[in-house]
Amino acid sequence: PRLHLLPQTHQLKGLMTIIRDANTERGDFVFYSDRVIRLLVEEGLNYLPVVDKEVITPTGLPFQGVAFEGRICGVSIMRAGESMEQGLREVCTSVRIGKVLIQRDERTALPKLYYSKLPKDIADRWVLLLDPMLATGGSAVKCVETLLEAGVKEERILFINLICAPEGALAMLERFKSLQIITAEIDESIDERKFILPGLGDFGDRYFGTED
């Protein structure tokens, strides 16, 4: 119940087919990835709490609606997660965005925090954690731990990603009992190199044009 899949519409399947295709040019990869990212952000906002709010329409009559309760911010896991920042900005104007850099320690093979820059009041906000690919979950788990150390409540963290492997999703949901994941598709597994299968390759390289 804490793993939320985007509605599997023909539109979404078509977009995912384009970005998974190895023959897709970078311009198209960026354009169609951005479309999926925006869908994911919009879906993530559905899980934020709201309060009742009455407004007066131009006809002079009241309308019973809602307003978001509390403030949000984004946190991107560098480098691929930075590709999702623009989609968040397009939906939430003037949103604050923090950054976290986590890489595998060559000596221990464990994820290590190298850099963290977060809004000073992040403990009072709802956090949309951004990373397009969730494989083993090692980096994402480390990032959530960093957020918790900064005072963010676990139930206020929404992890937004395009594709996740079952192993990574399970690792995160078992480790954090209140965290929620919003994803576009769940793939089959990860291979011995920890690549998601069938996946789409290295998202960051394809998005930023740094493929070999």
SS3 of 76-91: the string is EEECHHHHHHHHHHHH
Q: Looking at the predicted structure, is the pLDDT value of residue 104 above 80?
A: no
Instruction: Report the alpha-carbon distance of residue 18 to residue 36 in Å, rounded.
Output: 11
Active site residues: 104, 108, 202, 205
How high is the pLDDT of residue 111? 84
100-128: burial string, b at 16+ Cβ within 10 Å, e else:
bbbeeeeeeeebeeeebebbeebeebbbb
Q: Looking at the predicted structure, is the pLDDT value of residue 156 above 80?
A: yes
How high is the pLDDT of residue 79? 86
Q: Looking at the predicted structure, is the pLDDT value of residue 109 above 70?
A: no
What are the Cα distances from residue 84, in Å, to 51, 133, 145, 146, 192? 28, 11, 21, 20, 27
- In 63-137, where does DSSP find H-type helix? 85-91
Which DSSP letter does residue 154 get? G
For residue range 126-138, list pLDDT tens digits in order: 999 999 999 999 9
Share the mean pLDDT of the chain: 94
Q: Looking at the predicted structure, is the pLDDT value of residue 212 above 80?
A: no
- What phi and psi, each to the nearest 5 degrees, are found at residue 22? -65, -20
Name the CATH code of domain 3-208 (choices 3.90.1530.10, 3.40.640.10, 3.30.2310.20, 3.40.50.2020).
3.40.50.2020
Q: Looking at the predicted structure, is the pLDDT value of residue 35 above 90?
A: yes
Residue ranges of the domains in the chain? 3-208
Proportion of the chain above pLDDT 90, given as a percent: 87
Quote the radius of gyration of the chain (alpha carbons, Å): 18
pTM of model > 0.85: yes
Cross-strand pairs, 183: 5, 161
Instruction: Report the alpha-carbon distance of residue 182 to residue 127 in Å, rounded.
Output: 13
